[in-house]
Amino acid sequence: MSGPILVVDNLRKSFGRNEVLKGISLSVREGEVIGLIGASGSGKSTFLRCINRLETPTAGTISFQGKVCGSSSAELNRLRREIGMVFQRFNLFPHLTALDNVTLGPRVVLGVDAATAEREGRELLERVFLGDKASSFPGELSGGQQQRVAIARALAMRPALLLFDEPTSALDPELVGEVLEVMRSLAAENRTMLVATHEMGFCREVAHRVCFLDAGRIAEQGTPAEIFENPKEARTREFLARVLAR
Amino acid sequence: MFGNRRFSARILTGLLLFTAQNAHADDRLAQVRARGVLRIATDATYPPFEFLEKEKVVGFDREIGDEIGKEIGVPARFISMEWSGVFASLETDKADLVMSGVTITDERKKGNAFSRPYFLSGQVIARRKGDRTISTPDDLLKNGRTVAVQQETTGQYAMEKRGMSKERVHRFDTLQDALLDTRNGKSDAAVGDQPALADMIRKGYPEMEIASNQPFVEEYLGIVARRDGRDLIAAVNQALERILVDGRYTRIYEKWMRTPMTGATLAKLESARSMGTPIPPEIEAMVAPGTQARSFAAPDQSVGGSALSIRTEVLRDALPLLLTGARLTLLLTLCTLLIGVPCGLMMALARLSGLVPLRMLATVYVEVVRGTPLLMQIYVLYFVLPALKISLPPFQAGLAALSLNSAAYVAEIFRAGIESIEVGQREAAHALGMNGMQTMRYVILPQTVRRVLPPLTNEAVALLKDSSLVSVVALSELMRVGKELATNAGAPTTIYLAVALLYLAMTLPLTSLVRFLENRWQPIRRGGDTR
């Protein structure tokens, strides 16, 4: 592990009068896997969406790879190229096959030639155990398969940072495992990942660090052992008691 | 005859009077001679005065017009168009004269120059054969009887003036329909112009008859020129005079009206000669006559069966013409789609654009075009633009109006389609680093096209039928050809059935093509989210 790839300083975000993020600071080192936990509405998703600027922060700075991001659309596009995102509801392009979903970004944004993009796309589909589904449309795939295609799509851009926005929350329970397995293998490759999730088991096992968000702030952070075995804050204990009792 | 047949025609004429350029006074005759052709506008759906036969205008007016051309020394050319465009064609200098069975009225004399009367017409009653209880207008007023008329014609006015209540006067779009209504027993009698009623009954209604050939309201028909065409009218008057005197008039009259010309009729025409627009003596003097005469072939016209039956011989004659009309309809529609769909797409993108002026421009365009009648837009492009020195030929004017119009509707279809794409699609594309253009091109539009296919098909089918409106600028598309043939052949059922089948023959392949495409693109329907 080396120096920080992402430094977030006092990030705030309001929707109208509703302040969702009330000053979040976080530093992420290269190769680190961070689990973001917290109740619905605590600001996990908004935090991730601010990092790749799907939402425009109200205040605070975000530096990525040592540079503070501006707000010109060229800068935004460059930033997003480097940061991959996996959405809760997959957001695959329904008019394209699985393979085309994976190769579209490299071809259009990176200018990779079609043959190379296809070869790499097939490798990535193999990597998420979907080599045989290259020509299937999203509508023909199960939720778990779709989410794995979405992960392959994000990987195709060779991102320096991967954001996962509750990647298993929209899945039937029996399909969660196959997606987590892929994410586990990514962590094993030392990829830098920020994962908003309700999967406590996954956090405990894979994350290097866990942040507990509550009402727009990081209420507590630490190693999985610290957070899960010995939480300091009452709020953290309450939250964990609720989710682990399920 | 046509009293004030179409309200829109009056509005339009007013509009055009307003916009028409002020040409030099009374030098139309010189212009006609310089051009070497006398252009006569007519609505050729009014036998025996003017109707189409083998794509040519024939009838009483046609032959009188030819004779006038000979007298003036230039050949006459008849241009057939919708009644509502006939007067406008004078104002915009697309025709020199109107000969379309036009009744001389004081109101019309204000805006136009009229010749002396060249035909004595009048309102008569048509009844079911043998119904002797009806022979005078007074009989119609009794016993709650109903009468069918063509709307906004002198027939309607005559009955209302006699005190018939409005709900007992059944008003129809054409005289043909009025007659049909009476034939079917829904009205007790039809009232209309004697020559037209007689012709229709002879051709298609063996179960009907004229109650009395003596009109109960008399009307005089005139030939019309622009206000500043009094010199042309003076020449027309001189020509009419010679035609009336040397027997040509009588021959043409008897050929088309199929009744003997009486001395009383000639005497009435003579004594009413001052009904036309007065011509100052200095203009009268300017006009020098030419001479020529010609003999006529014997009348030859077959009499058909009932208007209600399907008549194959009519169909056989009509089909080539109908197919020509259908070809024009199809060509117009395809060209309009080729222009309107890309323009509409660009307009939709402009409406969704972040640039405020662009967005406002597109919004105003869409609202104005959607909020005004297509008919009005066609009028403006064809009749009003020439005042600004932009003169489009009929096809181009019709195509431009239809394209502008459909672009506005297509723009709204695309806008709704684009906005219906889930926001997650845009976010996923942005998250990959695509810019706005790339997102639109590779992610949003391909999905939009599939979604808007059904409403776009709807628009195309509606367009195919709306294209019939271009007939006001003298384009003989399918509906116009159908109308002309229906009135002329005396077999509206046969013709309209054929027209309907031809429209279906054009729309069905279109809709089945779309169904094929929709099935092909089936995977999209299930969407990216299976929940």
Handedness of CA B332, B337, B340, B343 (dihedral sign): negative
Closest CB to B434 among A90, A91, A109: A109
Average pLDDT of chain B to the nearest whole number: 83
Name the percent of chain B lying above pLDDT 70. Answer: 88
> Mean pLDDT, to the nearest integer, of A92-116?
96
What residues of chain A lie within 8 A of the CB of B527, using their CB? 94, 138-139
User: Helix axis angle, B312-351 relative to B394-420, nearest 10°?
Assistant: 50
Instruction: Note whether B530 contacts A: Cβ–Cβ < 8 A.
Output: yes
The helix/strand/coil state of A165 is: strand
Query: What's the pLDDT band for A202 if we cut at 50, 70, 90?
Result: very high
- Count of A–B CB contacts within 8 Å? 97
Each residue of A166-184: pLDDT tens digit?
999 999 999 999 999 999 9
What pLDDT was estimated at residue A246? 61
Are A80 and B431 inside 8 Å of each other by CB?
yes
Distances (CA, A) of B292 to B71, B72, B301, B502: 6, 9, 27, 46
Q: Which residues contact B152 (CB under 8 A, 6 or more apart)?
A: B3, B4, B5, B6, B7, B171
Residue B209 near residue B170, CB atoms below 8 Å: no
For the cut 70, the answer to whether the pLDDT of residue B350 exceeds it is: yes
Residue B44 near residue B51, CB atoms below 8 Å: yes
Of the ranges B361-365, B396-400, B465-469, B524-528, which one carries the lowest mean pLDDT score? B524-528
- CA-based nearest residue to B130, from B57, B206, B69: B206
Are A54 and B450 inside 8 Å of each other by CB?
no
Residue A121 near residue A130, CB atoms below 8 Å: no
What residues of chain B lie within 8 A of the CB of A89, using their CB? 424, 529
Tell me how far apart the alpha carbons of residues A237 and A227 are, in angstroms, rounded to a whole number.
9
What pLDDT was estimated at residue B421? 95
Interface test with chain A among B420, B425, B432, by most A beta carbons within 10 Å: B432
For the cut 90, the answer to whether the pLDDT of residue B516 exceeds it is: no
For the cut 60, the answer to whether the pLDDT of residue B453 exceeds it is: yes
Tell me how far apart the alpha carbons of residues B374 and B383 are, in angstroms, rounded to a whole number.
14
Closest CB to A54 among B422, B427, B527: B427
- CA-based nearest residue to B345, from B399, B396, B428, B416: B416
What pLDDT was estimated at residue B443? 96
The helix/strand/coil state of B94 is: coil
Closest CB to A139 among B432, B438, B523: B523
Q: Which residues contact B506 (CB under 8 A, 6 or more apart)?
A: B326, B329, B330, B333, B464
Closest CB to A94 among B435, B438, B447: B447
Each residue of B291-315: pLDDT tens digit?
333 333 333 344 445 656 677 777 8
**Greater pLDDT, B7 or B238:** B238
What residues of chain A lie within 8 A of the CB of B432, using their CB? 80-81, 104-105, 109, 153-154, 157
What pLDDT was estimated at residue B5? 42
Average pLDDT of chain A to the nearest whole number: 93
Tell me how far apart the alpha carbons of residues B456 and B465 are, in angstroms, rounded to a whole number.
14
For the cut 80, the answer to whether the pLDDT of residue B126 exceeds it is: yes
Q: Give B57's strand partners.
A: B52
SS (H, E, C) B334-388: HHHHHHHHHHHHHHHHHHCCCCHHHHHHHHHHHHHHHHCCHHHHHHHHHHHHHHH
**Greater pLDDT, B318 or B435:** B435
What pLDDT was estimated at residue A1? 44
Interface test with chain A among B420, B423, B530, by most A beta carbons within 10 Å: B530
The ipTM estimated for the assembled molecules is 0.94
What pLDDT was estimated at residue B321? 87
> Mean pLDDT, to the nearest integer, of B76-97?
85
> Mean pLDDT, to the nearest integer, of B406-430?
95
What pLDDT was estimated at residue B360? 94
- Specify the pairing of strand B217-226 against strand B97-103: antiparallel
The helix/strand/coil state of A190 is: coil
**Greater pLDDT, B14 or B101:** B101
Of the ranges B164-178, B248-262, B299-313, B367-381, which one carries the lowest mean pLDDT score? B299-313
Residue B358 near residue B350, CB atoms below 8 Å: yes
pTM: 0.69
Handedness of CA B401, B402, B408, B409 (dihedral sign): positive
- Specify the pairing of strand B169-172 against strand B97-103: unpaired
Q: Quick one: tokens of B211?
A: 């109650």
Kindly tell me the burial class for residue B19, based on how many C-beta atoms sit within 10 Å of its own C-beta (0-12, 13-18, 19 or more): middle
Whose structure tokens read 């509707």? Answer: B409
Residue B460 near residue B509, CB atoms below 8 Å: no
CA B369 to chain centre: 22
Q: Give the highest mean pLDDT range of A103-107, B6-10, B191-195, B197-201.
A: A103-107
What pLDDT was estimated at residue B515? 85
Rg (CA), chain B: 27
Distances (CA, A) of B522 to A139, A231, B48, B450: 10, 52, 58, 10
Kindly tell me the burial class for residue B335, based on how many C-beta atoms sit within 10 Å of its own C-beta (0-12, 13-18, 19 or more): middle
Of the ranges B36-40, B91-95, B237-241, B359-363, which one carries the lowest mean pLDDT score? B91-95
Please report, in angstroms and rounded to a whole number, the separation of the first and last CA atoms in chain B.
69
Are A105 and B433 inside 8 Å of each other by CB?
yes
What pLDDT was estimated at residue B288? 57
Q: Quick one: tokens of B187?
A: 């009205």
> Mean pLDDT, to the nearest integer, of B157-181?
84
For the cut 50, the answer to whether the pLDDT of residue B23 exceeds it is: no
Q: Which residues contact A153 (CB under 8 A, 6 or more apart)?
A: A92, A101, A102, A104, A105, B432
Interface test with chain B among A108, A148, A157, by most B beta carbons within 10 Å: A108
Tell me how far apart the alpha carbons of residues B69 and B89 are, in angstroms, rounded to a whole number.
19
CA A202 to chain centre: 14
